[in-house]
């Protein structure tokens, strides 16, 4: 696989979704969770999506329960939470793993293409997460709300670690829209 567009993912209703359908769009791929201290980032993600979808932005949410069990619900419960709590209109897919042997192939690719820069420069976030997160492999997603920016051609442009808010990446997005 050489592009995000080469992958298929599963919608919350179980349907297969080829990411080739997003060719020509700028993607922000995010692993999400409904019971995390960072869950309010849904609001910022939705605001970005509403402000830029007409210019070609798609936000793709992938629920993940690998970080302290912060996404325990079923796919239907997650959909309901997203709609009623944050009025999410961007696609939130079926729950997946983002690390380990059972990681979704899309996330294996994203992690390989953009291994990230997680480290002490993230200050208190790094200290807190290092204390509660098991040892991670280089490039692993370290927590909920890690974001991957993907160009219109399906190439991974950049990775943003969890504490980077949607508002903080607006300038980067604008450069690609």
Average pLDDT on 60-88 reads: 96
> What is the model's pLDDT at position 97?
97
Q: What confidence tier does 116 reach under pLDDT thresholds 50, 70, 90?
A: confident
Sort 88 into a burial class: Cβ within 10 Å, 0-12 / 13-18 / 19+: buried
> Residue 126 has what pLDDT?
65
User: What average pLDDT does the segment 104-126 reach?
Assistant: 81
Q: Which residues contact 118 (CB under 8 A, 6 or more apart)?
A: 126, 142, 161
Tokens of 46: 């939705």
Show which residues are catalytic.
Answer: 36
To which CATH superfamily is domain 4-172 assigned? Glutaredoxin (3.40.30.10)
| Mean pLDDT in residue range 26-32 | 98
Q: Which tens digit of pLDDT belongs to each residue from 129-168? A: 666 666 567 688 888 999 999 999 999 999 999 889 999 9
- pLDDT value of residue 27: 98
Residues whose CB falls within 8 Å of the CB of residue 154, separated by 6 or more in sequence, listed in order: 3, 4, 5, 6, 19, 23
23 pLDDT higher than 90: yes
Confidence (pTM): 0.92
CA torsion, points 147, 152, 88, 55, in degrees to nearest 10? 130
């Amino acid at each position: 696989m050489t592009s995000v567009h080469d992958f298929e993912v599963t919608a919350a209703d179980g349907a297969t979704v080829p990411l080739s359908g997003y060719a020509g769009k700028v993607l922000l791929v995010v692993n999400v969770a409904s019971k995390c201290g960072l869950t309010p980032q849904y609001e910022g993600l939705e605001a970005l999506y509403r402000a830029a979808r007409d210019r070609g932005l798609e936000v793709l949410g992938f629920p993940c329960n690998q970080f302290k069990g912060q996404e325990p619900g079923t796919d239907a419960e997650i959909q309901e939470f997203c709609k009623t709590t944050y009025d999410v209109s961007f696609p939130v897919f079926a729950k997946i793993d983002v690390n380990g042997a059972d990681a979704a192939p899309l996330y294996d690719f994203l992690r390989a293409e953009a291994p990230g820069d997680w480290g002490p420069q993230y200050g208190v976030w790094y200290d807190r997460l290092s204390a509660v997160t098991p040892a991670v492999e280089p490039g692993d997603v370290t927590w909920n709300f890690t974001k991957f920016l993907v160009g219109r051609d399906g190439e991974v442009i950049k990775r943003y670690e969890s504490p980077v808010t949607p508002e903080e990446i607006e300038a980067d997005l604008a450069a690609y829209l």
